[in-house]
Amino acid sequence: MKNLIFLLLLISSLSAHPQKRPNIIVFLVDDMGWQDCSLPFWDKPTPQNQIYHTPNMERLAKEGMKFTNAYAAPVCTPSRSSMLSGMNAAHHRITNWTSPYKNTNTDNKDEQMEAAPWMINGLSPVPDIEKTTYATTFPELLRESGYYTIHVGKGHWASRGTPGANPHQMGFMVNIAGHAGGHPQSYLAEDNYGNITGKAQPQAVPDLEEYFGTDTFLTEALTKEAIRALDAPIRNKQPFYLNMAHYAVHLPYMADKRFIQKYFDAGLDSTEAIYAALIEGMDKSLGDIMDFLKKKKVDKNTIIIFMSDNGGLSLAPPRGGKPQTQNFPLKAGKGSVYEGGIREPMIVKWPGVVKPNTVAKQYLIIEDFFPTILQLAGIKNYKTVQTIDGRSFVPILKNSDYTDTSRVLIWHFPNKWTGKDGPGINYFSAIRMGRWKLVYDMRNGKNELYDLTKDIGETENLVSQYPQKVKQLSKILSDSLRKWKSPMPSFKNSGKQVPWPDEL
């Protein structure tokens, strides 16, 4: 009898306190540059670090691991699609940002080049949707394994009228404000975030009606809704995944009144003051979520991954100052395959595993999030319709000194993002292996080679000094692009595809 009572008590105890798998949050910022914070991601602070006020990023880094060589794609939809699918952008072939309008190519027209045949409708969780890439998303695999999956903020994986535009179709049980729009029509509740009769555009932010007409800035409204959505899984002791994808700090730049005055007082011009206030509002959101987790006593079982989807915007206007200087010493900015367009601020907190206040120098890329998150959740032997290009960075989390200089990273941007060419912008590819980075200029048929350990600003082209390294990297890049059937532009005057990098 005593043994039976003990067994019943044991079963009751196990059901009341199920085995805890970790909660996981990806805190994804839009268009945030590598140095757009008070936390240095280099071996020393930069002048930009002195401008911004991000105490919660500093707090997260003290509690976790800072990555100084984290990468994404040059623009948003390719990065977001790589994160959800685990595929490199050259592989999933969603190489530019998707329009909210179906079957619309967002490439600018060009006198010399014919547009590459990229997947203009984006990512799809179901097959046979025109001009999309079919893939299994990791949120769907998390949901199937018992995770409570939440998306808050910017989606922008696909065009309206396709399944991928709807976060519910991408594996999320809860969706707040995610749709086909790539930026907010307005950050202001006074404007109903764009939802005004007769004035609403596809970028009007959905799902936030209760804040209309108040003074609640969009970043704050999304944070409040994220915290509200977390209450159910915490109460039910169910592991959760939160995709906290802020619209900040993307255009249109609008003043967050809570923070802007200090930047005016510091002497910033109006545009840069607005930008700095957007950054600080994002940082407050991070702190509010961390405080909530602690209040609910789930912080010690919650992994937080902080990341940006591409480099900081360096076109001026709309940024203040001189063009292509906002990410210095990195070269260029958003839209470019140079470091300013692809190197990102990244932090990971994993209580009990990641050693606090550590720094990892090993390079990685955003498609690595897919296998990493599934490994963190303890999901093994999963099946996907696509081949995964990303690698788990769990070994780095367990050892900040982990090094693999044979790893190859690839960027491919066969598109015309802006009306005018800029450094590394429009029709470029790139590859990194160890210290070396090769940049391929499609329009001019040229390769460039840089040693990032000595030249983070990519100022000294070493292509003539190291011809064998150029040959090696151009072949690896070309073989990968051929294997993936990556889209390539063609020349209008001949109709011929631009050569692969190893054909120069």
Inform me whether the pLDDT recorded for 312 exceeds 90.
yes
Beta bridge partner(s), residue 358: 65
User: Confidence class of residue 18 from pLDDT cuts 50, 70 and 90?
Assistant: low
Confidence (pLDDT) at 1: 41
Which positions ≥6 away from 144 have C-beta within 8 Å? none
Check whether 284 has a pLDDT greater than 50: yes
Residue 3 pLDDT greater than 70, yes or no: no
Name which of 382, 498, 406, 387 is nearest 445 in CA terms: 498
| The residue type at 373 | I
Does residue 16 register a pLDDT over 60?
A: no
Q: Give the pLDDT mean for 248-270.
A: 97
* Chain position carrying tokens 């490994």: 375
Q: Phi-psi region for residue 318, left (φ > 0), alpha (ψ -120 to 50) or beta?
A: alpha
Which tokens in the block code for residue 145?
């394994």
Could you tell me the pLDDT band of residue 273, with boundaries at 50, 70 and 90? very high
Q: Check residue 185 and report its DSSP letter.
A: S
Average pLDDT over residues 469-485: 98
169 touches 160 (CB < 8 A): no
Does 14 score more than 70 pLDDT?
Answer: no
Closest CA to 376 of 285, 244, 240: 240
What are phi and psi for residue 45, nearest 5 degrees? Answer: -65, 155
* 118-161 pLDDT, tens digit each: 999 999 999 999 999 999 999 999 999 999 999 999 999 999 99
Give residues with Cβ within 8 angstroms of 490, minimum separation 6. 113, 114, 116, 496, 497, 498
Predicted confidence band of residue 164 (pLDDT cuts 50, 70, 90): very high
DSSP symbols for 197-240: TTT--TTSPPS-GGGTTSS--HHHHHHHHHHHHHHHHHHTT--E
Per-residue pLDDT, averaged over 290-308, amounts to 98
Segment 405-419, tens digit of pLDDT:
999 999 999 999 999
Dump pLDDT digits (tens) for 223-238: 999 999 999 999 999 9
Residue 71: its pLDDT value, please? 99
8 Å CB contact between 349 and 380: no
- Supply the pLDDT for residue 238: 97
**Cα 192 from Cα 179, distance rounded (Å):** 16
pLDDT of 49-78, one tens digit each? 999 999 999 999 999 999 999 999 999 999
DSSP letter (8 states) at residue 130: T
Query: Judging by DSSP bridges, how do beta strands 490-491 and 113-114 pair with one another?
Result: antiparallel
pLDDT for res 346:
99
pLDDT greater than 70 at residue 5: no
Q: Is the dihedral of CA 68, 72, 74, 75 positive or negative?
A: negative
Rounded CA-CA distance 62/71 in Å is 21
What mean pLDDT comes out for the span 347-353? 98
| Alpha-carbon distances, residue 462 vs 177, 408, 417 (angstroms) | 47, 19, 27
Residues 30-51 have a mean pLDDT of: 97
Q: How does pLDDT run across 482-500, given as a tens digit for each residue?
A: 999 999 999 999 999 999 9
Give the domains, in start order, of the chain with CATH numbers. Answer: 20-397 (3.40.720.10), 408-503 (3.30.1120.10)
Average pLDDT taken over every residue of the chain: 96
pLDDT average, residue stretch 190-205: 97
Rounded to an integer, the average pLDDT of 174-199 is 98
Answer whether 0.85 is exceeded by the pTM: yes
Mean of pLDDT values over 77-106: 98
> For residue 439, how far is the Cα from the chain centroid?
21
Strand order in the sheet with 446-451: 408-413, 428-433, 436-441, 446-451
